[in-house]
Amino acid sequence: MTEAAPFKQAMRRLSSAVTVVTTCGPGGERRGVTATAVCSLSIDPPSLLVCVNRETWVGQIAPLSGVFCVNLLARGQQPVAETFAGRTGHVGEARFAVGDWSVCSPGAPALQGAIASLGCKVARCVDFGTHVILIGEVDRAVLGPPDARPLVYVDGAFGGSAAHL
């Protein structure tokens, strides 16, 4: 079995697109978390998967609410990424004071100016280790500015992708 420390160091070297995954609770409370473990799953039906720690509000609420939105962040949205990663002291609803938010079908918050926002209905949840894997069928895809450049995360830091430097 591989030790945790080398595995964590290896994964830090994998550059990933930065997203904020959002959801809404039964009382309308908005919650979100910065995530890099997101990928497309199928084109038919349009679907993707998201891996989030089950201890986060999104990991707890999205399986119950049945909706989430994946917001692909642009370079200029690093303050949003920092906030939803828990680096600014904002918690819960207060995190949504950073950025301009609307509602994406089927009901989760969407970030204005994001490269794209993908509103999803939860098709399946799979618990594994410390995380929950959310499989979502895309209900709505909203594309942002065509000239937006992605925010990426590698080696513990946010930055732009090499192709767009």
CATH of the domain at 40: 2.30.110.10
| Residues 27-41: b if buried by 16+ CB within 10 A, e if exposed | eeebbbbbbbbbeee
In a domain, 13, yes or no: no
**Residue 150, SS3?**
strand
Nearest CA to 96 out of 33, 5, 2, 12 is that of 33
Q: pLDDT digit string (tens) for 61-120?
A: 999 999 999 999 999 999 999 999 999 999 999 999 999 999 988 899 999 999 999 999
What is the total count of domains within the chain?
Answer: 1
Q: How many residues does the chain have?
A: 165
Its pTM stands at 0.93
The pLDDT-based confidence of 161 (bands split at 50, 70, 90) is: low
Please give the pLDDT value at position 35: 97
In a domain, 19, yes or no: no
Residue range(s) defining the domain that contains residue 31: 25-164
In a domain, 10, yes or no: no
The pLDDT-based confidence of 56 (bands split at 50, 70, 90) is: very high
In a domain, 1, yes or no: no
**Residue 12, SS3?**
helix
